[in-house]
Amino acid sequence: MEPKKKSSRITIRTVAEDAGVSFSAVSKVLRNAYGVSDTLRAKVQASIERLGYRPHAAARGMKGHTYTLGVILPNMHNPFFSDVMLGVNDGLNRTPYQALLGVSRAASEERSAIDAIVDRQMDGLILIAPRMKTSELVAIAETIPTVVLGLHLPDVTAFDTVNNDDTLGASLVVRHLKHGGYRSIAYFTMDTSVDYGRAPFGHREVGYRAAMNDLGLSERVRVIAASENLREIQLEARKLLEASRRPEAIFCWTDYVAFEVLSVAVELGLRVPEDVAIVGYDNTAFCDLAPISLTSVDQSGQQLGMQAAQLLVERIKGRSHAEHVVITPRIVGRGSSLGAHDAKLSG
Amino acid sequence: MEPKKKSSRITIRTVAEDAGVSFSAVSKVLRNAYGVSDTLRAKVQASIERLGYRPHAAARGMKGHTYTLGVILPNMHNPFFSDVMLGVNDGLNRTPYQALLGVSRAASEERSAIDAIVDRQMDGLILIAPRMKTSELVAIAETIPTVVLGLHLPDVTAFDTVNNDDTLGASLVVRHLKHGGYRSIAYFTMDTSVDYGRAPFGHREVGYRAAMNDLGLSERVRVIAASENLREIQLEARKLLEASRRPEAIFCWTDYVAFEVLSVAVELGLRVPEDVAIVGYDNTAFCDLAPISLTSVDQSGQQLGMQAAQLLVERIKGRSHAEHVVITPRIVGRGSSLGAHDAKLSG
DNA sequence: TTGTAGGCGTTATCAT
DNA sequence: ATGATAACGCCTACAA
- Nearest protein residue by Cα to C1' of nucleotide D11: B63
Helix (H) / strand (E) element for A160: namely: strand A160-164
Nucleotides of C strand lying within 7 Å of any protein CB atom: 1-5, 7-13
Tell me how far the alpha carbon of residue B192 is from its chain's centroid.
19
Longest dimension (CA), chain B: 86
How much is the mean pLDDT over chain B? Answer: 91
Give the count of Cβ contacts less than 8 A between chain A and B: 129
- CA neighbours closer than 13 Å in the CB half-sphere of residue B266: 17
Report the candidate in A241, A256, A332, A280 with the shortest Cα–Cα distance to residue B288: A256
- Distance between CA atoms of B161 and A90, rounded to whole angstroms? 31
pLDDT of A33 > 70? The answer is yes
**What tens digit of pLDDT does each residue of B323-347 get?**
999 999 999 999 999 865 444 444 3
A79:B79 CB<8 A: yes
Nucleotides of D strand lying within 7 Å of any protein CB atom: 1-5, 7-13
| pLDDT attached to residue A7 | 53
Give nearest nucleotide to B38 (CA–C1'): C1
Residues with CB under 7 A from strand C: A 9, 11-13, 23-24, 27, 30-31, 33, 53-56, 59-60, 62-64; B 21-25, 28, 35-37, 39-40, 59, 62-63
Report the candidate in B249, B165, B241 with the shortest Cα–Cα distance to residue B207: B165
Give nearest nucleotide to B53 (CA–C1'): D9
- Distance between CA atoms of A120 and A115, rounded to whole angstroms? 8
| pLDDT attached to residue B7 | 52
SS3 letters for A68-133?
EEEEEECCCCCHHHHHHHHHHHHHCCCCCCEEEEEECCCHHHHHHHHHHHHHCCCCEEEEECCCCC
- Nearest protein residue by Cα to C1' of nucleotide D8: A62
B102:A101 CB<8 A: yes
Rounded to the nearest 5°, which phi and psi values hold at A273?
Answer: -100, 10
**What tens digit of pLDDT does each residue of B9-27 get?**
888 988 888 888 888 889 8
| pLDDT attached to residue B37 | 84
A102:B98 CB<8 A: yes
**What tens digit of pLDDT does each residue of B108-153 get?**
889 888 988 888 889 999 999 999 999 999 999 998 999 999 999 9
- Distance between CA atoms of A149 and B47, rounded to whole angstroms? 36
DSSP one-letter string for B82-105? HHHHHHHHHHTTTSS-EEEEEE--
Q: Which residues of A touch B76 (CB under 8 A)?
A: 76, 81-82, 85-86
Q: Find, in chain A, the residue whose alpha carbon is nearest to that of B98.
A: A116
B120:A58 CB<8 A: yes
- Distance between CA atoms of B256 and B254, rounded to whole angstroms? 5
Q: Which band of pLDDT confidence, cut at 50, 70 and 90, is reported for residue A116? A: confident
B103:A81 CB<8 A: no
- Nearest protein residue by Cα to C1' of nucleotide C7: B63
Residues with CB under 7 A from strand D: A 21-25, 28, 34-37, 39-40, 62-63; B 9, 11-13, 24, 27-28, 30-31, 33, 55-56, 59-60, 62-64
Q: Identify the residue with better confidence: B185 or A63.
A: B185
A102:B101 CB<8 A: yes
- Distance between CA atoms of B66 and B123, rounded to whole angstroms? 6
Q: Which residues of B touch A75 (CB under 8 A)?
A: 82
Q: How buried is residue B317: exposed, middle or buried, by Cβ count under 10 Å (0-12/13-18/19+)?
A: exposed
A66:B58 CB<8 A: yes
Q: Which residues of A touch B116 (CB under 8 A)?
A: 68, 98, 100
Q: How buried is residue B210: exposed, middle or buried, by Cβ count under 10 Å (0-12/13-18/19+)?
A: middle
Residue pair A258/A315 in contact by the 8 Å Cβ criterion: no
Cis peptide before A273 (omega within 30 of 0): yes
| pLDDT attached to residue A245 | 92
| pLDDT attached to residue B164 | 98
B259:A286 CB<8 A: yes
Q: Which of B86, B93, B101 to mutate to test the interface with A (most CBs of A within 10 A)?
A: B101
| pLDDT attached to residue A1 | 33
Q: Identify the residue with better confidence: B340 or B204.
A: B204
Among A59, A263, A285, whose Cβ lies nearest the Cβ of B62?
A59
Among B77, B100, B286, whose Cβ lies nearest the Cβ of A102?
B100
> Of A39-43, B30-34, B69-73, B221-225, where does mean pLDDT reach its minimum?
B30-34
B119:A289 CB<8 A: no
**What tens digit of pLDDT does each residue of A177-188 get?**
999 999 999 999
Give mean pLDDT, residues B29-40: 83
Q: Find, in chain B, the residue whose alpha carbon is nearest to that of A115.
A: B54
Residues in chain A: 347
Q: Which band of pLDDT confidence, cut at 50, 70 and 90, is reported for residue B3? A: very low
A78-CA/C15-C1' distance, Å: 58
Q: Which residues of B touch A259 (CB under 8 A)?
A: 286, 289
Q: Which band of pLDDT confidence, cut at 50, 70 and 90, is reported for residue B299? A: very high
